[in-house]
Structure 1
Amino acid sequence: MTHSNCPRCGGRLARDNNTGRCTPCQAAERDRLSVPPVVPASFWDHEPVRLALSERHLGRVIRAYRCHPYHGRVALPQSVVAGWLGITQAQLSRVENGPPLVHLDRLSHWAQLLRVPPESLWFRLPGQPRWAGAGAADNAHGDEQRGQAVVAVNVGEAPKQGGGATDRRRFNVLAALAGLAAGGHTYLLAGPAEVPGNISLEQVRLAGSLVDDLRQADAVAGADLLCDVAIHAHARLSAWAARASYSREVGDALQSALADLSIEAAWLAIDADRRSEARPYLHEAITRARIADDPQVEVRALTHLSLLIRESQPGESLHCAEAALRISAGWATPRLTTLLHLRRAPAYAVLGDASGFSREMTKARRELDRGPHEDDQGFVHFVNDQELKGIEGLSFLALGRAERAVQSLRAIIANPSPNHRRNQVYYTVRLAEAAYQQGDVNEAARIALHVLPAVRQINSKRVSQHLAQVRGSLAAPQQATTTTRQFVDAYDQAVSA
């Protein structure tokens, strides 16, 4: 049965109109091939859309969106919608007909792109209160149980098979784990170690949301406290994936969730200065991302791998960043492209290639000047002018140009970024190192003394190790001044406290 009225404005259609849209509405949305249209609130009350939302399957939501009568008698082509989403038509077909997506970055980005009402969603958009939306009512009983969860987890009591020192290391993350427990993650962090008989999509969805909550907890507690949490959760989920029973749909969904969790575990290991533990997780993430046909996860893994091996294998670091640039061509936002050039710049510096470093910094600065984008993934939000100046400073240090390094790193101190405190502290410590290399030991000591309390608060062993190196340099007898002794004494007292 054809419509006699335009579904967009309600106007009467001409008898010979076979498009399902009146002429004014067709003219008003000629750009629909490039951007999603603004749809009325009633759009989301259409029964196929409501059913897809209730099934918690964003692929089916997208299919119902494409076939909505609002768009006319002919559904929106997959190629058009795939273009909006930054994927290929074949990938969209797999999204619509395959298992539910569990990757929160992608879920949030696509839901926001299509302007799905937050209250209709089963997951939390960035900036929303936890468990807001349609999923809240469905999970009310579960939330009550989660609220009673123990928030101090002892990984030392975890099963001892195969974890080595990690399994034996005790930790208590207090307030940080309170947030993780509130998110419903205690089934991965504590409780019985037995593998469940079956894994459900709900458990996979919660595992995917654990990464987002770990990032938030990391900002509060620091990687030193959370590294074991992520590793333990990854080991638990991997054991379930290997030994539990589940449908093919659930098995496919596990790939993206485990890949994302692997990347987060690797990053926390890097920041906790447990670098040898990070690389296997990144290799696993790349493999799982390819199995899941998820290029965004693969690019994230390559970005972290480039960072991890920059000092030891700068040539390979360049190749990793180049591969990420190649994979993300066509959909990378300016911020992501900036980050990838910032991964290449210091690798060139470590190789002693000043022209390569300068070329990559020019590209990074040009991309950063294009500004933020609504498609930015969560992991690139730290990419700003402070980060650019910081990477520039580190690269000058690697090139042996301490004076230029001091200039770049001091610019960060003059214009701090309050939302990225850890990076601010890290680059301040590196400024002290640059001042020492420049030969100004008193300035190095003053900077180090000023930043010492902040270093103790952020729980990043990567940062602490750099400050320890500054302390070792300034403690040498030939560097003894009133200022250097004051810092060394304060440092030793803080470490022994």
Structure 2
Amino acid sequence: MSDQLLPHPLAALRAELGLSGEQYLDRLDNVHCALGYGRMAKSRQKVSRWENGVNSPEMPARYAMARLHGIPREAVTELGWPDFLLLAFPDDRPVLDSPWTLAGTVAAVAAAARGGSMQDRRGFLIASGATLTSLSTSWSLALAEPAEASPVTPDEVVPANTRLTPALLDTLEQRLDDLRRLDDVLGGARLRKTAIAEYDLLDGLAKRTGQHGPLEHRLLSLLAESARMCGWLQFDSGRHARAQRYYITALRASASAGDRQVGANTLAFMAIQVYSEGNPQDAVSLVRTAQDAIARRTTPRVKSMLHARAARALSKTGDRAACWRELDAARTEYARGPHDDDPAWSYWLNPGVMRSVNLFQRESVSRRP
């Protein structure tokens, strides 16, 4: 099968069915007629124009698509084009819809890595607008509610040779740090499989703990960071649906761990994807949620990172005044210097990055009308 990225939900659905554009249109036409709308006007480029955003299908054609792919009719009008087509990918639902509990995190973690080559090739977002807002709000609310301990049943007990210990977690943490630094050199295409293997290793440990405690929370934090890294590497390779699955799973794991910083960092990385491929205002909202959640619970370096990310998102919206305020705040926080509690993943915010922030600000000022 070709490894070509699928930039639109309809293209992914056609690939799943193994149909060309003309073959898909023939099948859609039969459903269109069966629904009482008559025969469709056909052209060789009709489906490709839908997928490329040149044209949008008329409502009868959308209803026919919903019937063809088993999507509720009301979703066509509630979600609009082409978002209603996202309901045809059932493997995304555990990631998007699971409850914000430890059990929900376990379900999402398992679902995030599922999917064949077609799933891996989806180059479009699976969540935007209200869905993204709901996810980030749920993350904030889950952090505000202390996790309840749950007993470990005999079949859930981790074998003695893999029991959680501080030394084991130190080793796993170091492996993630090594992977982060390899990404600086090798990039996402080379490291995707390695990152997923690390994620699977952490998943195998986390899903068998069945309880809340300091070591379990630390393991969930590592799993969240691992999912965040998988999301970044998938995004770096243009696999946007898979990237969001991992990012959302990272949010869930960080909430179960009570780790605001890892979750805030995940939201900041989600914002990069959203302002690059979606609505920049959604990206601003993600960063604002992160800033609100850790306003008094993090270091100046992390605050600086979030201000810089907010500035980038705001620059995409055209709100220059707000962008400049965030850039000034990023410089102010960074000038406060490093802190013993700086998370390991914040190493990339260094003088070189800050010079690029300053350059970005100077360029923005020079373009001021």
Q: TM-score, normalised by structure 1?
A: 0.38
More relative contact order, 1 or 2 (CA 8 Å, 6+ apart)? 2
From the CA coordinates, give the structure whose radius of gyration is larger: 1
> Counting helix residues as a fraction of each chain, which structure ranks higher?
2
When normalised by structure 2's length, the TM-score is 0.50
